[in-house]
Chains A and B, each alone.
Chain A
């Protein structure tokens, strides 16, 4: 039997800050050149999302950005991009949206040319619009069959009640807007809400210059003022159960409004959250998956918003164990609030989180994500030194304090479907 090797703790991580190029005084381009091999990835980030704009309209507008101009149909545009091995992706989030373009550096200009041409002349052709709506409706119907979707949607609608994001979406909503609405969103929202760009890839300086030029129309027009007051407050305990007769499983989504990384308790809470339900050896996993076998997976997390954040617990379980699981979760919360954690478990979570930090910093794509995660909250990479220090300094008492302060049932929203 070979002796267990010594475990070394992590004290420091070498983070790579990207180069910052000021496209304008307020709009930066962040650029990482190293370790990307032959690849490049360009992200254009817009400070508009489904919280401050209608979710269906905004999603549709972003999805159709490359679907046609007055001169070129979608097919021609896509063929041009494809020909040079290019890929693009659009994503609409709660508070920001992004266009990502991928390819090999040797095809950099050849891919970006049709991308910018399509984007700047987006016309939202009627046939493309109609096809999209049709597909969205179909997807909506399929999703209505999935308990995880039903629970997630009900959870978000309740959490964001009173905001445009929180309204209930029905199949009829897809028929309530047209391409003119999308053109409106494009001209008055998308084109004006450019926030920053990131580039990973071994390109030349002159290519950066050309890229800045290509982005000029966005930088010139940027002026949209984000509703920075969005900070929902939920104070009431609420239980919602959406039964689905023939379902074999139930989906559970629980949570509440909390905060983001600018809050003084964020790091300590993150630690407590990891211990509670944020990794494979967590309290929730141990109890609900390993011990009771109710579920294939259960976890908890904290989603950050610009001025707020929300905590969630989610799982899919056997239908007959739905209530038992909710009770078991509640029981785990009580344990954490009332029983001080052992030093061993504390050590485990510390090392796990530090390992995760390292793991999430492997390679240029991860490095850029790390950097942006601090930039978005007005912080810089020094934040991670503070983070490492706080994690290393976590105590059993502090874990208990976080659980008592933030996991109480009083304002917990509990949704289950199935």
Chain B
């Protein structure tokens, strides 16, 4: 049970406070409602580039990292297709330093050509290190294009290509900030051993003067319902043949999401899962196989992926996967199998909520999608799933015409 308080400033900033007595640390987490999905098609990778820029100095504070480190703190951030999240962890006695820093960069950045150039270089290096120079590195670029024909989920967070990042200019950067980075589009969570009164006072002190800005009304292109099986084979310099099956599924916390999550577990989480047992342990067709969901806010993907054993063909894999799925659909799970995946879910959830940082991040995300209260109600949605409801959703999701499949053919003979 995670307790918290909520209040909203007049400029629209939503604030959550989670009191945790037994920690010497404070966490300040700021979630901005902007992700790769909000980018323009010819300006992808921007939300992530912007995340980097946020560390390059704000309007009144030239250096972000310096003051925070002096206060004994650490900061980091991540960008996804849906959100950009920033967090600071520091000794509780120095909470104000983090609030001072976060509020100033919410107010405005110190836009400079030098900062832009440096971060563009860093991001391009990241692109190369994590995507271009890794075996299977561009899989998600290809798979997303295959699964999403219209929706901005069709490009990954890092960006479609290096060129779009390289040609970003300062005016575009400023426009992006004004559009997305204001109190109305942000959720702030503070966690640590404090009292609500002092937190309210501090948040007012640092954040209340920030102008509300314009509310960003998202209206993304809808992805049309998929009604045909899509496949693509690409050749790459990789030692093993790989595969990705992507099934469309409901967005996070929408109806059917929880069932989809458990379906992915039953199919491919761990050694006792259906796919692992049959295709790996029993038949040796694959050297690795697993299933998981991406957790995106809009229509998402349930993925089955892995690598083929040396003497397995894609044709053979196809036959066996669809046969297994068919068997999965014919008979409902027995109680034992369902209990297993629910128990595993519960263990994972409990562990994920041990630290104050994870709690602060989760509270913000849950607040954005549904409500922060949902963090305590979430397990019920899983616990009440029956073999019948799981089977019904399996039938909706695990259809061939709901699937996009990518095969990666090894060039190395």
A4→B129 contact, CB < 8 A: no
CB distance from B243 to the nearest CB of A (A): 14
CB distance from B40 to the nearest CB of A (A): 25
Interface string of B114-136 (1 = CB under 8 A from A): 00011001100110111011110
A145→B347 contact, CB < 8 A: no
CB distance from B123 to the nearest CB of A (A): 8
In the assembly, what is the distance between CA of A32 and CA of B69, in Å? 31
Question: Contacts A7-B70, A147-B133, A363-B354 given: A296-B339 contact, CB under 8 Å?
Answer: no
Interface residues in B194-209 by Cβ distance below 8 A to A read 205-206
Contacts of A39 in B (CB 8 A): 347, 350-351, 354
CB distance from B59 to the nearest CB of A (A): 9
CB distance from A59 to the nearest CB of B (A): 17
B284→A7 contact, CB < 8 A: no
Closest to A244 in B: B133
A138→B307 contact, CB < 8 A: yes
In the assembly, what is the distance between CA of A316 and CA of B122, in Å? 12
Interface flag for A162 (CB, 8 Å): no
B122→A84 contact, CB < 8 A: no
Question: Contacts A142-B239, A358-B24 given: A5-B94 contact, CB under 8 Å?
Answer: yes
In the assembly, what is the distance between CA of A14 and CA of B287, in Å? 48
Interface flag for B281 (CB, 8 Å): yes
B71→A356 contact, CB < 8 A: no
Interface flag for B272 (CB, 8 Å): yes
Interface string of B45-79 (1 = CB under 8 A from A): 00000000000000011000111011111100000
Interface flag for A307 (CB, 8 Å): no
Interface residues in A33-75 by Cβ distance below 8 A to B read 34-39, 74-75
Question: Contacts A35-B22, A79-B272, A249-B133 given: A85-B288 contact, CB under 8 Å?
Answer: no
Closest to A293 in B: B121
B122→A355 contact, CB < 8 A: no
CB distance from A328 to the nearest CB of B (A): 15
Interface string of A288-330 (1 = CB under 8 A from B): 0111011110000000000000000000111000000000000
B309→A134 contact, CB < 8 A: yes
Interface string of A314-354 (1 = CB under 8 A from B): 00111000000000000000000000000000011001101
In the assembly, what is the distance between CA of A379 and CA of B228, in Å? 65
Interface flag for B277 (CB, 8 Å): yes
A354→B270 contact, CB < 8 A: no
Interface string of B358-379 (1 = CB under 8 A from A): 0000000000000000000000
B69→A352 contact, CB < 8 A: yes
Question: Contacts A102-B347, A348-B70 given: A359-B340 contact, CB under 8 Å?
Answer: no
B24→A145 contact, CB < 8 A: no
CB distance from A110 to the nearest CB of B (A): 10
Closest to A9 in B: B72
Interface flag for B42 (CB, 8 Å): no
Interface flag for A226 (CB, 8 Å): no
Question: Contacts A78-B271, A249-B128 given: A5-B350 contact, CB under 8 Å?
Answer: no
Interface flag for A166 (CB, 8 Å): no
B69→A351 contact, CB < 8 A: yes
B89→A359 contact, CB < 8 A: yes
Interface flag for A281 (CB, 8 Å): yes
B132→A75 contact, CB < 8 A: no
Interface flag for B387 (CB, 8 Å): no
Interface flag for A135 (CB, 8 Å): yes
Task: Give me the 9 closest cross-chain CB pairs, A-B, nearest first.
Answer: A355-B72, A293-B121, A85-B343, A5-B96, A85-B347, A141-B239, A8-B93, A296-B126, A296-B125
Residue ranges of A at the interface with B (Cβ–Cβ < 8 Å) = 1-2, 4-8, 10, 13-14, 34-39, 74-75, 78-79, 82-87, 102-104, 107, 131, 134-135, 138, 141-142, 144-147, 246-249, 279-281, 289-291, 293-296, 316-318, 347-348, 351-352, 354-356, 358-359, 361-365
